[in-house]
Amino acid sequence: MSDATDKVEVLLVEDTPEDAELTMRTLRKHGLANNLMWVKDGAEALDFLFGTGVYAGRRMASPPRVILLDLHLPKLNGLDVLRRLKADPLTRQIPVVVLTSSTEESDMRVCYELGVNSFVSKPVEFDAFMKVVGKLGFYWLLVNKQPGL
């Protein structure tokens, strides 16, 4: 594995390439996408975080500073990923932001029960979407403090 995967700051878990592109474009515009890793489903996300599967042997010196997690994912959905992350002491402290199209209260409730750090609905309108993603990146990467950094 290259060095790039070792110092990932943002892990984007998103199956829709368009949404991923829009998110990355926005973060890039704010200069926050330098160390961004994009995975397309829940299984790959877990593989990346735990260094298994195709990511076996990855040096996991520093965990991502934030995980942007979609809920509606192929294979393993976002809630399963969240459950695994928050159940494991190794990954529990990584901030997870659920970034989803869902506005369902039930989704919100389950996410918070599982210990999500933030729940954000993706606005349909791109301008609003850009604002939200920009704020998120700004807050989690620049404002928020984490131990060991």
Partner 1 sequence: MNSLTRLLFGEKNQIGRRLIVLIIAFSTVITLFISVVQLAFEYRGLRKALDRELDGIAIYVPTIAGSVWDFDEKQIQRAIDALILLPDLVEVRVIAADTARAWVSRKVATPNVITRRYALLYENRGRVSEIGALEVVSSLDGIYQQLLNSAVSIVLSNGVKTLLVALFMVVLIRRLITTRLENLANKVHALVPGMLPLRQAVETHPQPMPDTLDELDAVEWTLDQTAADLKVAVAALNQLNQDLESRIVERTKELESFSYSVSHDLRTPLRAIDGFSKMLMEDYKDKLDDEGKRLLCVVRGNTERMGQLIDDILQFSRLGRQQLALAPVDMERLVRTVFAELQPWYANRDVRLSIGALPPTLADASLLRQVLINLLSNAIKFTLPREVATIEVTGTEDGPHNVFCVRDNGVGFDMQYVDKLFGVFERLHSSDEFEGTGIGLAIVRQIVVRHGGKVWAEGKLDNGAAFCFTLPHP
Burial of 127 (0-12, 13-18, 19+ CB in 10 A): exposed
Query: Helix, strand, or coil here: 119?
Result: strand
The interface mask with partner 1, positions 6-45, x = CB under 8 A, is ----------x-xx-xx--x--------------------
- Answer yes or no whether residue 127 interacts with partner 1 by CB under 8 A: yes
Question: Which of 38, 43, 72, 95: binder of partner 1 (CB under 8 A)?
Answer: 72
* Residue whose CB is less far from partner 1, 2 or 106: 106
- Answer yes or no whether residue 134 interacts with partner 1 by CB under 8 A: no
Alpha carbons 118 and 44: distance in angstroms, whole number = 22
Cα 68 → chain centroid:
2
Alpha carbons 102 and 108: distance in angstroms, whole number = 9
- Answer yes or no whether residue 117 interacts with partner 1 by CB under 8 A: no
Alpha carbons 8 and 59: distance in angstroms, whole number = 11
In the bound complex, what is the minimum distance in angstroms from residue 61's beta carbon to partner 1?
34
Q: Give the footprint of partner 1 on this chain (CB under 8 A).
A: 16, 18-19, 21-22, 25, 71-72, 100-104, 106-107, 122-127, 129
